[in-house]
Amino acid sequence: MLKNNFIEGNLTETAAKATNSSEIVKGTESAKQQRSRKASVLWSTVSKARRTFEKQLHKSNDLKRECLEKLIPSVASDVEHFWSEYMDQTNVLLDSRRFEKECKDLNVDPTILATHIVFLGSGTMNKVLRNGIVNTIGSKYRDFTEKFVSEEAMKYALDYEPEKKEADTTETAA
């Protein structure tokens, strides 16, 4: 009888330890989920902006940018940091040789198209990386030929060159 209690006691202790260790693992997973939620502020903002944009009757690139810019202050303390993260995602597309080749074949500006694809969301962006532009968004790429992000955002794009402005003709003599 003593022997059975000893074995049962060990089993009970082992079960308790297993339960505690699984709770610790669950606690770790929820901490990881919380960290990933904080990292995905970009994607939740893009998602909200896209939903707002899709509800509009008259869509334009200015309106698309405005939908994003209205939400940025509520989620990010630094607008420039938000655009940096946005363009980091754009750069993921621009860094893909397949994406670059397909843009060249379609005769579209890769940077402009990439900014629009990021606006479509992380799922669409990942599908474009896996399956290509036409296989993912079809002929919709033709709608994405004009820049919608600001110059402030564009400076974070790969191979960015600022738009050339006309030289100021009112130079002061020294």
Convert the pLDDT of each residue in 21-38 to its tens digit. 545 555 555 555 555 545
CA–CA separation, 144 and 46 (whole Å) = 16
CA–CA separation, 14 and 63 (whole Å) = 61
Residue among 12, 153, 162 nearest 80 (CA): 153
Per-residue pLDDT at 170 exceeds 70: no
Q: Please, which residues have CB within 8 angstroms of residue 117's CB and are 6 or more apart in sequence?
A: 93, 124, 125, 128, 133, 137, 144
In this prediction, residue 119 carries a pLDDT of 96
When pLDDT is averaged across residues 70-90 and rounded to a whole number, the result is: 89
- CB atoms closer than 10 angstroms to residue 58: 5
